[in-house]
Chain A
Amino acid sequence: MNEKVPTRDGFGKAVVELGKKDKRVVVLSGDLEDATRAEYFKFEFPERFFNLGITEQDVIGTASGFAKMGFIPFACSFAVFMTNRAYDMIRLDVCYNETNVKVVCSHGGVTVGEDGASAQCLEDFAIMRVLPNMRVVCPADVHETVKATEQMALIDGPFYMRTSRAPVAVISKESDPFEIGKAKLMKDGDDVTIIACGIMVAEALSAADILEKGGIKARVVNMHTIKPLDEAAVVRAARETGAIVTAEEHQLFGGLGSAVAEVLAQRCPVAQEMIAVKDSFGQTGSPQQLMKHYHLTAADIVEAVGRVMKRKI
């Protein structure tokens, strides 16, 4: 678990493999293919790759037109530019028209680092999951990113996937099962459940190790698919462990924590604590410094478990 790889690399490799198998796969870029790793596809299939320049709205619209002609377009840029700048296009062209567009964006979260707040996307889960027909995925490591990319190409309809710029601990094996829409149990326990996505899954696993030394058995659920949420896994965790901590590299409002709270409130209310960025923009710094600053570390999860255990009925 020492190896660290940016999840964007997994997307780059997987989309090339898809391109080999299926001629319908095209990739559209808003001139950031070096950073999103979409350029792997450009090198292999230049005739099926389109850098439309710094025009996210045009990228999404054009991708939708390709989809209408029977293609499987992947539309790539930074998470913050694509989901925010081209929001109306994602809403209308992709979600309302139910086009088979896969929006795949790198540079999610504060771990973008030194580029600072304008490039650090902290609202994409919220604004993507609120759209009808959209599915939202944030894989925990490079292997999961490969599998998510493969699977979304086989499922007709809109997808949003966030990948990371920063190297992320490899916490799964290539051979591990992965299914979009189905939560992955990373570690079992019955005192509390930590539900996490993206880079926070590795933090959750570290937190669970620390907790175990203190005699607390924490269950760790990898909720790589934020929509459609695996509600059964949430309800099961609530019933069997009685307390939930959610952890995400995202704003507290509207993300994974909110999605879990929506299920708990309606189906099985139990105490919940949320590890997330609290209504603030990011800033310049190293990924590690920023994780610490915004309380997104294993130590913060451990503290949140302490709080939620006290609230357990």
Chain B
Amino acid sequence: MTTKNIDVTELKKMALTMRKEILEAVHRAKCGHPGGSLSAVEILISLYGHKMNHRPQQPDWEDRDRLVISKGHCSPVAYVALANYGYFPKDELLRYRMYGSMLQGHVQAKVPGVEFSTGSLGHGLSVANGMALGARLLGKDLNVFCLLGDGEIQEGSVWEAAMSAAHHKLDHLCAIVDYNKVQENGPTNEIKNLEPLGSKWDSFGWNVIEADGHDFHDLIGALDSFISTKGRPTVIIAHTVKGKGISFMEGNFRWHGKAPNDQELKLALAEIEMASQQS
């Protein structure tokens, strides 16, 4: 089956729902990270809603595929995705970032479906390597995914891990870079340029796939190609837009870590409503 034949209508609907819930959660909390959450919506849907072998009703099922969310500040998209795919009731989202809530500010492994607590950047890929090496030693046929931020990969520890994954030929490991090209204080190419990003990973021994990170056909095609690649790890460089879907947030680093006020939320939800009527 080619990816063109996949019906992505439901996935697209889910993307709109998730964008709405991300904004509502961050608005309620009056803080959080909407920009890099909105850019990763389609990536997480492609994983939880299509590619990953997982059981939301049995989060500790030992043969499940693992996803390590290394860009832990993007808890809004992670929690909203997990709630939508049935890991916990959506009501929990009402308490996002609240005192005493299960849903801590950065992703936390006490939340069903979250494999590892992160929030300090540059940790996830090494952890994912450990899971992949462990799975191999156990003889388990499972995949390990790791979602990285683009600003995050300025951390040197990411490249230590990149070297390890290639050395150990972790072909059941797939890193996905949410390449929205914007970090907290501006565009990545102005702060510490990542380019040429694909050839960096390639020179580290990785199978590199570039994809449109908001196009389900493209993302699913890239994930299929990862599955069929043997002998080396895969990185999907997902080209995305920070704040995707909300005109006044798109590409604007000011929305990296800021909540919309009442008026901004209204405008944002109106844009999502319009998009859902057009789809």
Using a CB–CB distance below 8 Å, which chain A residues touch chain B?
A: 26, 47-48, 50, 52-53, 55, 57-58, 60-71, 73, 88-89, 91-93, 96-97
- In the complex, B133 has a CB within 8 A of chain A: yes
Size band of the interface chain B makes with A? 20 to 34
* Contact present for A64 and B127 (CB under 8 Å): yes
B residues less than 8 Å from A71 (CB atoms): 134, 137
Interchain residue pairs with CB less than 8 A apart (20):
A26-B134, A47-B137, A50-B133, A57-B160, A58-B164, A61-B124, A61-B126, A61-B129, A61-B130, A62-B161, A65-B68, A65-B127, A65-B128, A65-B131, A68-B127, A68-B131, A68-B134, A88-B123, A91-B120, A93-B126
Closest Cβ of chain A to B166, distance in Å, is: 12
From residue A124, how far is it (CB to closest CB) to chain B in Å? 20
- A62 with B127, Cβ < 8 A, contacts A55-B164, A57-B160, A89-B157 known: yes
A64 — which chain B residues lie within 8 A by C-beta?
116, 126-127, 130
Decide if B269 is an interface residue (CB 8 Å cutoff): no
B residues 155-192 in Cβ contact with A at 8 Å: 156-157, 160-161, 163-164, 167-168
Looking at the complex, which one of B118, B119, B132, B157 makes contact with A65 (CB distance below 8 Å)?
B132
In this complex, the member of A57, A61, A66, A89 whose beta carbon has the largest number of chain B beta carbons within 10 angstroms is: A61
Chain B residues with CB under 8 Å of A62's CB are 126-127, 129-130, 133, 161, 164
The 8 Å CB contact of B129, one of A48, A65, A89, is A65
Interface of chain A, helix or strand or loop or mixed? helix
CB distance from A42 to the nearest CB of B (A): 15
Task: Identify the interface centre among A67, A68, A69, A91: most chain B CB within 10 Å of its CB.
Answer: A69
Inter-chain contact A61/B117, CB cutoff 8 Å: no
Within the complex, the shortest CB–CB distance from B109 to chain A, in Å, comes to: 6
Sample of 14 more A-B contacts, CB < 8 Å, known A62-B133, A64-B130, A66-B131: A57-B126, A61-B127, A62-B126, A64-B126, A65-B127, A65-B129, A69-B135, A71-B137, A88-B120, A89-B126, A92-B117, A92-B118, A92-B120, A93-B126
